[in-house]
Chains A and B, each alone.
Chain A
Amino acid sequence: MLVGSLRRNLGLYFYMMVNEARRYMSYPLEIVSSVLKRLMAPVLLIVFWYAVGSHSNSTISPKDLVAYTLVANGLTQVFSSDFKIAGIVQKMIKYGEISHMMLRPSSILLQTFAKYTGRNIADGVVNGLFVVIGLIVGGTSFSTIGYLPFVLINALVLNMSFNLLLGTLGFYTPGASAIKNTINHVIQLLRGSTIPFYLVAPVVIKILNFTPFPASMYHVVLALRGRAYLLRPVDVAIGTLWAVLILAVSMAAWRRSTRSYEAVGL
């Protein structure tokens, strides 16, 4: 259904994205603030990890920690792992904007994605740069190039599905945003954004690899940085299984919720 809508209305979604980007660009102060915010958050994290690496008695290098932080932070924005799309969906439901979108002969999800992309173009450029700088600082290799398409698709599908599931919560409670934030804090830890996984005991990583969270971020960081010895085919396969399962659940939840949605004015 989504693919069909994308094929039919590709021009429309592109126009929506460009329009949203233009609207955003007309507030230069907002762009500067947004870029500064995006720059400052990883800089503060880098300072922290640099301090941790410098004072560690083990073989952990500050440079490696800094590179990991840069790549993981950059990818968070690229995949919307901080659930910004879910936040947009929840707001649309809360303020009734979704009623107007339902009247249009196009997909609500793709409209939302187009808007999100347009609104975050400046952030996207900054975060893309973080990933590149992280790879330059920490180094990379081609040893994991074969995994890259699989882990990228897994992460994309998982993050979109999580966004959709959390966005759907907006149909059921006005406190959906706080629930989303709570879950975000926990998932950030479980997918390796808060702390690099190699800093925790190996047994914890083994257990976590049976969950969908490492596949939504950590595997991509490993594949991009060429850490083949930490990335096993079985972990990628488990990630794919979770991606398929969570996508099915999130789509079913979305369909069910939009069908039972009663809008004022409709």
Chain B
Amino acid sequence: MKRDVSILKGMIVYSLRSQFAYLTSSWFGLLSSVGFCVTYLIAFGLIADRLGNIAGFSKDQIYFSLFVGEMSFLLIVARLYDPANYLNNLVKDGGLDFLLIRPFSVRLSASIMGSDILDSVQTAIIAGGVIASQINWHNLVFSPMSLALAFVVLVCGYYVCRTLIFLLTYPAFVYGDASESIGFTWTMFYQFYTPYEALPGFMKVAVYGLVPSMLMTGGVVNVALSRSGHRSVVVFSIFSAIVSIIWYKILWRRALKRYTSASS
């Protein structure tokens, strides 16, 4: 136990040091994220002023949707996307061998060493702060129960996304590289603010079933604001998360079996 804590501490310190070494690069990334948020705040503001609503959402509700989407996106990038790229590079250059012989979880190592937590935290505070400052929170109605259920949907969505992103990383274990397919993660978040209840029945199933990032954005907003269909979203999220967790374990075992070590 003491040894595990020591390894964990070492990995976190190493990861933070490498992030501090390229602080300017991280600030430029922050600039880009703030630019994105401001652009969408203006765009949604203009449409809401002209049409009165956006797909049935008021201006504050769609801003809240943007806020949840940005936070979910940063969570996915820090905890899943960056580590997936790190794992892909490890497989590509044979570095995974060294991780496999260490007496520590490979997945945990990759998620700590490959993650730019500092970058994501500062972006979450500043870009999230910019969006939050534009929301009139009094116009949004939450209840403790709805917030708790929204958190459950967020966690479930995270597990579904984790399986999907690992599925996109899987070709690295078979073909040696999965950079292009991992890049698909960005596309999932290309458009993430479509309100769940604004879609007709068949599109609800297709969009929320095939694009799990929607659960972490539209799904969370739907449940947090207790809008129509929120119970279905909660049930669907829990069911999808259970299936995803099982799939993830199967995929991980298969990936390791397919992996041809650099030293073998």
Contact = CB atoms under 8 A, between A and B. Distances in A.
A48 B56 contact: no
A199 B50 contact: yes
Contacts of B191: 41, 44-45, 47-48
A160 B82 CA distance: 32
A185 B35 contact: yes
B163 to A, nearest CB: 18
B46 interface: yes
B39 A186 contact: yes
B94 interface: no
A178 B39 contact: no
Contact of B52 (A37, A57, A175, A186): A57
Given A174-B25, A178-B32, A185-B36, A40 B187 contact: yes
Contacts of A48: 55, 191, 193-194
A47 B53 CA distance: 16
Interface string B184-207: 101110111111001100010001
A26 interface: no
Interface in A186-240: 186, 188-189, 194-195, 199-201, 204
A54 B51 CA distance: 12
Contacts of B51: 52, 56-58, 60, 199
Interface string A31-65: 00110110011001101101110111110100000
A141 interface: no
B46 A199 contact: yes
Nearest to A195: B43
Contacts of A29: 171, 175, 180-181
B24 interface: yes
Nearest to B56: A55
Interface residues of B, number: 45
A54 B24 contact: no
Contact of A30 (B32, B56, B180, B188): B180
B148 interface: no
Nearest to A40: B187
A213 to B, nearest CB: 13
B29 A178 contact: yes
A170 to B, nearest CB: 13
A182 B36 CA distance: 7
A182 B31 contact: yes
Mostly, the B contact residues are helix
Contacts of A54: 55, 198
B260 to A, nearest CB: 17
A143 interface: no
Contacts of B4: none
Interface string A155-176: 0000000000000000000110
A179 interface: yes
A55 B53 contact: yes
A94 B56 CA distance: 46
Contacts of A50: 203
B1 interface: no
Given A29-B181, A36-B184, A178-B28, A195 B198 contact: no
A200 B50 contact: yes
Interface string B171-185: 100010000110110
A41 B187 contact: yes
A258 interface: no
A181 interface: yes
B21 interface: no
A183 to B, nearest CB: 8
Interface string B36-71: 101110110011011111111000000000000000
Contact of B46 (A40, A174, A185, A195): A195
B75 to A, nearest CB: 19
A54 B190 CA distance: 21
Residue of A60, A188, A195 with highest tally of chain B CB at under 10 A: A195
Which 8 A-B residue pairs are closest in the complex by CB-CB distance? A175-B28, A178-B28, A182-B35, A44-B191, A51-B198, A51-B55, A181-B32, A33-B180
5 contacts: A30-B180, A182-B31, A182-B36, A186-B38, A188-B39
